[in-house]
Chains A and B, each alone.
Chain A
């Protein structure tokens, strides 16, 4: 049913349907008119001919009485003349006197001038029942005259006409549907091309433009408007980047100088009592520089350049980062477990994914109290690879779960702990450019962060080890003991 639903929702299909419906209605109107005029014309012609004949016979009767009428009928019944004509003259009792009908047809109302009845041609086709239509005429003496025709032919003509009109209508509907599809598809293909281009642009390639097929028509104008809009967006973005780069540069350069002057001062210092002050100042400068770098990194990560993406071995990245942070967790007296399912591959930028995972782990370690536990795993969730990092820290209240991803936002309780408030924003930026699903949940107690990749990719040619690696880092060295 999926394809039907898709078809129904496609504008092409609906346009074609509407177009066909309208076409069918107008064509059937036209056909009905043709049918009505054609068959009506044939009927009127038939009736005029019968009436003329009756008039002729009436004349013979007036001139030479009933005898003349009989003679006239017999003359007209001459087989060399027209076929299918019906004549019957009966006396007031109903006995046939002249004509080619055996008897006066039954069920014929006396007051109707025109009558319809069934006849059977006994000589030629005794089995076929045919329909006839005739005009009645009464003489003053009470004789009844019936003049008519076999109307089979006429009915056949009508039926044939109706049939060909129906075939015509069916073909119109068919051709209309087909035409509608072709017509709709040509337009929709152009619309689809615009959509595809827009998607590419949204995924980070702002240099793409919509191809303008015909600059004069509506779609062409739409494409041109979109392109103009993109030009403007690109200009604005470049401007903004320029400004932020300039600001970053202009502020960082003096900061750098400040820092190196402090370093210089520290080197030449005679009075050791100033060492702490200067080192503190260097630390502050470093914090400022780190914040600038983080802001720039976020901006770049958000712009997300998918052309730099490669197939990544998620367990390898997980192991690297876990190995890097494990000792930090232990230094803090936390139990640290890392478990990575092998063979999980996804597309992305290796450094950005490592950075995102590192930031989440760093947070987990930072906020877990002594004796707490931090766990890092990679798993398949509904067929999609994911990193899950859980801690036993204070967690994040529901109302702040969206907020903590914002730049420079920090929870009241964590204001005193070190950090820039940019760690999770960077994770969010990486998630956005990689189409990762970033979820913050309650770990009862603590926080559980899940980073789910949009899809897994097959591992590149080289087959990976299928050993589940369990990293439980211990402070001591078993080998050395």
Chain B
């Protein structure tokens, strides 16, 4: 029931302003963020470029491995989105070469091969995240933004603060508006992840992968149930809800 109400208010808010959080691109650097997309499929690339540009990024595109590698080595980017299967050098070898040249730009792999071994191979080659096709654009955007945030992030804090919400990771304590909030261990980790990505859209898959550490399809939206329980504790007792549902994408902790 509660889930329903909160979602309802979100629809109204998402109708008024863009779903995409603009924070990372403004926060991390003064100028506009540059993203390199290496994708051979023309149509897929087109809609990726359009989406990223509409979200406020400057995007370069390479349609094959050779051009992609050249751009990746010669231009400074804030993030790269690399398809694994490409004509010319494939995604894996591009990222390996890039890493050998001491370029630490975060890389998001895209691939039709979504299985664990492919994921592991991608991460081993120097990728930072791995997104299996089919993906929704909001999923991709959320992950790109998480990567951009990570690139400019501070070393792991043991104390997090988002608005009037505070989390002490050493004492395992959560306080909102000066009142202690008691959470189950999993709810604590869920909130920690949301707080570390405050202001950003976090998808259900990202939560499953980072909070539960599983890569699978949970059929029903089990994540929603956990979020709703978390809301009961961090939002319901207080006047202003801060955990927002982003329709068709995921969740966002308001800054």
Contact = CB atoms under 8 A, between A and B. Distances in A.
Interface in A302-333: 305, 308, 320, 323-325, 327-328, 331
A119 interface: no
A275 B247 CA distance: 11
Given A253-B43, A327-B229, A266 B134 contact: no
Given A267-B18, A275-B15, A320-B212, A249 B133 contact: yes
Interface in B188-240: 212, 214-220, 222, 225-226, 229, 233
B219 A419 contact: yes
B23 interface: no
B81 to A, nearest CB: 14
B226 A327 contact: yes
A461 B41 CA distance: 47
Interface string A117-143: 000000000000000000000000000
A308 B116 CA distance: 8
B218 A282 contact: no
Interface stretch (A158-166, A207-215, A224-232, A288-296): A288-296
B47 A279 contact: no
B136 interface: yes
Interface in A145-200: none
Contacts of B133: 249, 252
A362 B219 contact: yes
A260 interface: yes
A203 to B, nearest CB: 16
B216 A292 contact: no
A267 B44 CA distance: 21
A325 B225 CA distance: 9
Contact of A366 (B14, B214, B220, B226): B220
Given A362-B218, A480-B233, A308 B117 contact: yes
Interface residues of A, number: 55
Chain A, interface SS category: helix
A407 to B, nearest CB: 15
A259 B138 CA distance: 10
B21 interface: no
A279 B219 contact: no
B11 interface: yes
A359 B217 CA distance: 9
Interface size class of B (residues with CB under 8 A): 35 or more
Nearest to B218: A358
Nearest to B1: A331
Contacts of A391: none
Given A253-B43, A324-B222, A293 B212 contact: no
Interface in A225-248: 245, 248
A328 B220 contact: yes
A423 B216 CA distance: 12
Nearest to B19: A267
B22 interface: no
Contacts of B14: 266-267
A263 B248 contact: yes
A480 B182 CA distance: 6
Given A263-B248, A279-B247, A354 B217 contact: no
Q: Which 9 A-B pairs have the closest CB atoms?
A: A355-B216, A252-B134, A260-B137, A480-B182, A362-B219, A479-B182, A327-B225, A351-B215, A328-B225
23 contacts: A253-B44, A254-B43, A256-B47, A257-B43, A257-B47, A260-B47, A263-B136, A263-B137, A266-B15, A282-B248, A293-B134, A297-B217, A320-B212, A324-B212, A324-B222, A328-B220, A350-B214, A351-B214, A354-B214, A354-B216, A358-B216, A362-B220, A423-B219
Given A248-B134, A249-B41, A308-B116, 14 more contacts: A248-B112, A253-B41, A254-B43, A269-B15, A320-B214, A324-B212, A327-B225, A349-B116, A350-B214, A351-B215, A355-B217, A359-B219, A362-B222, A419-B219
